Structures are given as C-alpha cells and as structure tokens.
Amino acid sequence: MIFSKKRTVNCGGRLLDLSRPAVMGILNVTPDSFYAKSRISGEKAIVDRAETILSEGGTVIDIGAYSSRPDAVHTDEKEEYSRIRPAMALVKKHFPDTFISVDTFRANIVKRLYEEFGCFIINDISAGDMDSQMIPYAGKTGLPYIAMHIRGTPQTMRNSENCTYEDIVTEIISYFVRKKEQLREAGVTDIIIDPGFGFAKTLEGNYRLLAGLDAFRILEQPVLVGISRKSMFYKLLNLTPEESLAATIAGNVLALQNGADILRVHDVKETSDALKVFTEVNKYSV
C-alpha cells in the first residue's frame, strides 16, 4: 500500500516545504542542557547562533528554554518564559523571515508568544499530555504542531514501566493514530510526528525505533527525528556527547533512508552536508 505524506506545513500563510528533508537547528537558552556546548546566553550569542543555523543550511530555528534531559530540574513557567521571550524577540527582529519552532509543553507560553510575535511552530515534547490546554489552543490559532511521544515526564521517563514495550514501533504508531485523531478534532491541520528518541526508551528501544522508522509513513504526516548527540550513541560507544558527532551523522543518514522529513540537530553544517550527499545519491537510485 502506498501512503501519501503531507509535504508542506502552513505557518501563518507561509509554507515550509518538506518535499526535500529539512534541518532544524537547536537554539538552547537553558543553563543545563545535556550537551554543554549547545547552551546559549546573552543577546549576541543568541543572534550569532541563529545566524549560524541559517548560514549553515538550517531551515527552522528551534528555541528551547526548558531542559528535558533525563532527571532535569523542573523549571517553572515564569522562569521558562523569562528565558524564551527575549530569544524569540531577537530571532524575530534579526531574521524575520525564518521559520521558528518553540520547544515548550505549556499552552500559556505559546499563547503569550503568539499574541506578541505571530505564527510559529509548536514543538511539544508531551503531545498535549502535560497541559490539557495545549491542543485546543493550537487548534484555535491554527499553529503548526509537533507532537512528540513520551511516557511520563522528563523527571519520570526513565522508570522501567515507562520504558517497557512489547512492540515499540507498533505501540508508538498506535499512540499517534489516536493523537492524530485528537488533534484533527481540535482543529489542528498541520501535524508533525516526533517518535521521541531518548524519551522513555531504552538503548535497545531507540535502535528498534530507528530501524522501524519507515513504518511511520502510515500516519501520512511529516516525521521529525531528534537524535543529535543523544545517549543512544554515546552510551553505545562509551563516549561523551561532545564526542558523538560522527555517530549522530550516521544515525541521521539512517533516519533519512527510513523516511525522516526533519532532522533536529546541534550540528547544522555537518548535517546539511550529509543531507546534500544523501540527496545526490537519491537522484540515481532505482
């Protein structure tokens, strides 16, 4: 059976074209991200990072102010907003035509940013499960929505019951079948699926998920993969996040082969180069 994926995302009348895979560059304004080199603070550093993402081939800038690494300290809404609002203002001021996604699970933060800055892509690690107002608000405003799979919260997702699956690919696809219906009923029309690598998944589970990523085509929605420098690489290879670039690139190429439409990464240039090689080879594939 042939499934037809949606290939555009409408953000306030502007179309993000996913006929070719896109690179999403991470702009972290958290003080405790698992990858220390990704932490950004100060106006100049924020602008420089955004400029680097775009100059190196990034299509979307993903701004995050809440660390969702395992066992991360919980950040309250006031603190998250105090970090993310200045970063959003700077990116909008200096790069007004770029696509921005906001990495938050809180509907009130989305509401405040939308009322001030207009359309952006919601990037919700909980797919609405950590804030019951998120999906209704996304439907009301028409904001594009990245729904990620997680069990529990960043503070509890490592619990053994959250990481146990009989068939991880089938179970997560079933979750998204239900989630897609919920989003559609709320009025959300632009949905991006994120299987949630590293979130309530074991090392083995992450690799089973990557190997089975092609099955997500059945959902007929763009698929985002976020595996940049994650523990599925550095624990397997006995490395650190700082030493995991080569493994990340290998993983991202495998994700592209298995149908990924957006790669969320720290290393934009290296990923863009790998994407160019992947695209060139595909010109000649039979």
Active site residues: 230, 264
Cα→Cα distances 35→1, 81, 155, 164, 281, Å: 41, 21, 18, 26, 31
Positive or negative, the CA dihedral 127, 129, 130, 131 is positive
Q: How far is residue 59 from each of residues 20, 63, 135, 209, 268, measured CA to CA in Å? A: 11, 13, 25, 25, 10
Here the tokens at position 159 are: 């619990």
Gap between the Cα atoms of 145 and 119, Å rounded: 11
* Placement of tokens 């290879």 in the chain: 237
Cβ pair 113, 141 in contact under 8 A: no
d(C-alpha 193, C-alpha 175), whole Å: 11
Residue 181 corresponds to which tokens in the numbers above? 């219906």
And the tokens for 104? Answer: 């938050």
Residues linked to residue 264 through DSSP beta bridges, in sequence order? 24
Q: What distances in angstroms separate CA 137 from CA 10, 102, 115, 143, 187, one per listed residue?
A: 16, 14, 12, 8, 9
SS3 196: coil
DSSP-assigned beta bridge partners for residue 147: 124, 193
